[in-house]
Structure 1
Amino acid sequence: MDLSEKIEVEDSLPFHEFNDSIELLISEAKNENNILQLIELKEQQTEQKYNVERSTFLPSVAAFGKYELYPEYLSALEPRWAVGLTLSVNLFNGLRDYAKLQAADYLIEEVNAIKKNFEDKISLLVNKNYKDIMNSKEKFIRNNFTISLAAENLRLNEKRFETGLGTSLEVVDVNLAYEKSMIDSKSYLFDYYSNLTELYTTVGNPQKVISILKNKEQ
């Protein structure tokens, strides 16, 4: 390729801002995560198991009643109607019920620890993706100033070359610096949308990236 050939760096990927806060993203990621939903279901099951084991320490109460519609078939000793109430309490069961209650309690603590650990990992991942987006955005915006300076420097060196005060090598070097800043801009923009895709995939709403690319209301 001829060194004097002009390189046009173009694409159809403009920069669009996204407006979701980190708090909203973390909340949405927790609500939409399937694994976390399964853990929460397990948490409900362990709480129900604990309530069942705890009920063994409570007295059992039962009520009964009857009424005979055909009293002619009753003997002289049988009443036509009767009601009653029974109450039973297990005073000692070799501490087996207490051991089951403790096991159910430990299971609740284990599930809660797993849930908290998973929520912390989700938060860390969302925070990492969010910071990567902010870094890419900052590089892209900062590079726009670099492009402006490089373009002005190229213009000045071309004028110097036209008036005989500069050399063609200087113009080539400045032009290469300008083209590099243009390529860097596209690279930072690519990183921005790549990190944005990673973020909304983690959140569980990858279609949101399409809305941002099309610059629709979010």
Structure 2
Amino acid sequence: MPKVAYTEEERARVRAALLATGLELMARQGIQHTTVEQIYRAVGISRTFFYSFFPTKEDFVVETLYLQQPKILAYARQLMADPSLSWRDGVRQFLHACCYGEKNGIAVLTVEEQQLIFRRLSPESYQTFREKQARLFGDILECFGVRANGERVALFTNLSLSIMILRRAIPSTLPLFVPEAADRTVAFQIDAIVDYLETVRE
């Protein structure tokens, strides 16, 4: 018989387990291929109980993206503190890990996933996401020794996300791109971003 009452502490534990499980699944198999059923079954709760925490799958996905933000920033700091890596190698390794997120436990939205999710978010939720995203990319820039003014944060966000999305989009979403050159294209673009950051590094 299902449990009918949970303490606030138990609810907090279940919510944390849902987010951690969802992030793990989405990083490994993609957001589109991760279902709400997979998540709540893995945690051992009912569908109804899942939706008592998150009104929609889209709200859940956004919360998982928030969950991984401190982990991403911690990874950048770890690389910058590694004495065996040069500054360029640390930044390059960070961007490479994000581009190949499924191999590194990082969930990256495809173009289709972005469109699907953000069409269904409220204006308030969308604005909150943009603010948190800008803060994350600004913190990453500061970690790299680059002063994070608004213009640099915006450019770094677009440059970084564009290579992550491009890498996920070839060849399924962008069939006219050459899949055999996808990895070299990503490496070239990563080097271009590192070159730019080096020119503005303090």
TM-score normalised to structure 1 length: 0.24
Greater relative contact order, per chain length (Cα 8 Å cut-off, separation 6+):
1
TM-score normalised to structure 2 length: 0.25
Query: Could you say which structure has the higher strand fraction?
Result: 1
Query: Could you say which structure has the higher helix fraction?
Result: 2
